[in-house]
Amino acid sequence: MKSVILYGSRYGSARRYAQELSKQTDIPAVSYQEAPPLSKLETIVYIGALYAGGVLGLTKTLRRQSFGEHQRLVIVTVGLADPDILQNRENIRNALQKQIPAQLYGRAAVFHLRGAIDYQALSLGHRTMMALLHRSLQKKSAEEWNEEDRALMETYGKRADFADFASLRPIVNEIQGDTE
Ligand SMILES: Cc1cc2nc3c(=O)[nH]c(=O)nc-3n(C[C@H](O)[C@H](O)[C@H](O)COP(=O)(O)O)c2cc1C
């Protein structure tokens, strides 16, 4: 195996993106919990869902990993907030920089995808977290919400799916561009 796509997914949207990317690039996709040793791989793509700003499984996967000069790291976040909005991208990137060493962040190609949520499928813990957030936002006026808050309020309690495989295109280009 020369390259791998790892995914951190709780409810399936990051996994579905990883599997589609695998189909388009012929790179195997596995959960971060089954990650092979990374030191010999050329390209490591990490597709992780955002939970309270953090990318699921990323810190654990990259901990104690040192990357050689020849290795490539591509990090893809999957979240509810629209990554076409600059404020959302900045928030995600600021949180990401706190999650992984600066040396790794500096050399990673970073992309953002939009995922899905189905409140009926959420665990009790996640439903409670969202209910607390929702309640605290309700106490504020809508003008005080940032773009992430707005996305949460608009989808609260519902089933929403913003996943779009067409948004994988720049990631495929990134992966294939350098390996040709
Ligand atoms: C408890 C909780 C916290 C979340 N936090 C964020 C967040 O900080 N930013 C974001 O964009 N989306 C957030 N989301 C939305 C998820 O990232 C989104 O549903 C994603 O598609 C889930 O991926 P998965 O299906 O692969 O687990 C959160 C969802 C839950 C349930």
| Same-domain status, 81 and 168 | yes
Burial class (CB within 10 angstroms; exposed 0-12, middle 13-18, buried 19+) of 56: buried
Candidate from 13, 31, 46, 51 with most ligand 1 atoms within 8 A of CB, to mutate: 51
pLDDT band at 64 (very low <50, low <70, confident <90, very high): confident
Write out the two tokens for 133: 């957030």
Instruction: Indicate if the pLDDT at residue 146 is higher than 50.
Output: yes
Does residue 31 register a pLDDT over 90?
Answer: yes
pLDDT at position 24 is 97
Whether 52 is in the pocket of ligand 1, judged by its Cβ within 6 Å, is: yes
- Mark whether 56 and 81 lie in a shared domain: yes
Looking at per-residue pLDDT, the higher value among 69 and 74 belongs to 74
Q: What is the pLDDT of residue 179?
A: 45
Residue 178 has pLDDT above 90, yes or no: no
DSSP H or E run through 128: helix 124-138
The predicted-structure confidence for 99-142, as pLDDT tens digits, reads as follows 999 989 999 999 999 999 999 999 999 999 999 999 999 999 99
Range of the domain at 149: 118-159
- Between the alpha carbon of residue 113 and those of residues 1, 85, 107, 136, 180, the distances in Å are 26, 12, 20, 26, 25
Note whether 52 and 135 are same-domain residues.
no
Cα of 78 vs centre of ligand 1, distance in Å, is: 7
What's this model's pTM, rounded to 2 decimal places?
0.96
Give me the pLDDT at residue 140, please: 96
Domain match, 35 and 80 both: yes
Q: Are 94 and 171 members of one domain? A: yes
